[in-house]
Amino acid sequence: MSETFPTAESAAGDPRTAELRERLAAVRQRISAATHAAGRSEEPQLIVVSKFHPAADVARLAALGVTDVGENRDQEAAAKSAELAGLPMRWHFIGQLQGNKAKSVVKYAYSVQSVDRPQLVEALAKAMARQQSESGRADLDCYIQVSLEDDGGAHRGGAAPSDVERLAESITAASGLRLAGVMAVAPLGAPPEGAFEKLAVVSQELSGLHPDAVAISAGMSQDLEAAIQFGATHLRIGSDILGSRPRVG
Ligand SMILES: *Cc1c(COP(=O)(O)O)cnc(C)c1O
């Protein structure tokens, strides 16, 4: 039940911390090389996706200097963030989200990166109104998840590019929500470059109308280099840092 979490000092002799340090360094090296290759001066923000891995690993990551983690299920994220409430960690919600979970998510989430429909914007706005009056928390960063499938279908979630502007307007109209930018997952079975190029165009159109909404959350373990090439400002990296996820079900 009660695990003890490593501090920066106690982490030194912990084998799992040593493993994470090494894997994190390798990923940071790839990010740095890709940033340089793309002729960019600033590295994107690394979000380590901790889904299916225990809270103790998030504590280890914090001791290694990680400031941002991503989760895709409310139940798991709520439990971990509560357990680690003392850590200065930003929690990003990156999974499909039902409206009835909004109330829980706004208790811990710094951002929701999977906003894909007007009903979810409404649910988040309502939940934020309550949460801000109770806790005075900061506005919630919202990313519009864009589907990059050729047929505009929702196989891996996301709004069609043609729906992005309408969603953007509903987010900016809601108090408590801040429109941060766009998020996407590259479709399976095709080179990621084409998908991320498409996302860059969607982002450009969005930020033309909403100059603060410049964030592009793209790039996972397999395709972070392509994402950086096409302007990603945020990367969501899971397995290359934490190892393969335990299989569930
Ligand atoms: C799991 C997940 C990631 C991380 O994927 P890896 O391949 O493990 O790096 C990124 N984004 C989303 C939306 C995810 O669900």
Domain locations along the chain: 28-242
Distance 103 CA to ligand 1 centre (A): 24
| pLDDT over threshold 90, residue 87 | yes
Tell whether the model's pLDDT for residue 9 goes beyond 80: no
At 5 the pLDDT is: 63
Cβ-count burial 102-136 (b if 16+ within 10 Å, e if not): bbebbbbbbbbbbbbbeebbebbbbbbeebbeeee
Whole-prediction pTM value?
Answer: 0.94
75 to 3, 142, 157: CA distances (angstroms): 19, 20, 20
217 in contact with ligand 1, CB cutoff 6 A: no
What's the CA-to-centroid distance between 149 and ligand 1, angstroms? Answer: 17
Cα(236)–Cα(94) distance, rounded to whole angstroms? 9
pLDDT at 1: 43
- Is residue 53 in contact with ligand 1, taking CB distance under 6 Å? no
For 21, 47, 58, 157, the CA distances from 62, given in Å and listed in that order, are 11, 12, 6, 30
Q: What is the Å distance from ligand 1's center to 128 Cα?
A: 26
pLDDT tens readout for residues 100-121: 999 999 999 999 999 999 999 9
Residue nearest atom 13 of ligand 1, based on CA coordinates: 94
- Give the homologous superfamily in CATH for domain 28-242: Alanine racemase (3.20.20.10)
The ligand 1 atom nearest the CA atom of 49: 4
Q: Is the CB of 23 under 6 A from ligand 1?
A: no
51 lines ligand 1 (CB under 6 A): yes
Reported as type and span, the H/E element at residue 183 is strand 177-183
pLDDT band of 27, cuts 50, 70, 90:
very high
Our CA dihedral for 119, 124, 125, 129, rounded to 10 degrees, sits at 150
Q: Cα of 135 to ligand 1 centre, how many Å?
A: 30
Q: What does residue 202 show for φ and ψ, rounded to 5 degrees?
A: -60, -45
Helix intervals (H) in the chain: 15-37, 55-63, 74-83, 102-108, 118-135, 164-173, 192-209, 224-229, 239-242
Kindly indicate the confidence band of residue 245, based on its pLDDT and cuts at 50, 70 and 90.
confident
Q: Is the pLDDT of residue 6 over 70?
A: no
With a 6 Å cutoff on the Cβ, whether 221 touches ligand 1 is: yes
Give me the mean pLDDT over the 16-25 stretch. 98
129 lines ligand 1 (CB under 6 A): no
Ligand 1 pocket mutation, candidates 51, 72, 216, criterion most atoms within 8 A of CB: 72
208 vs 245: which has the higher pLDDT: 208
pLDDT at 12: 67
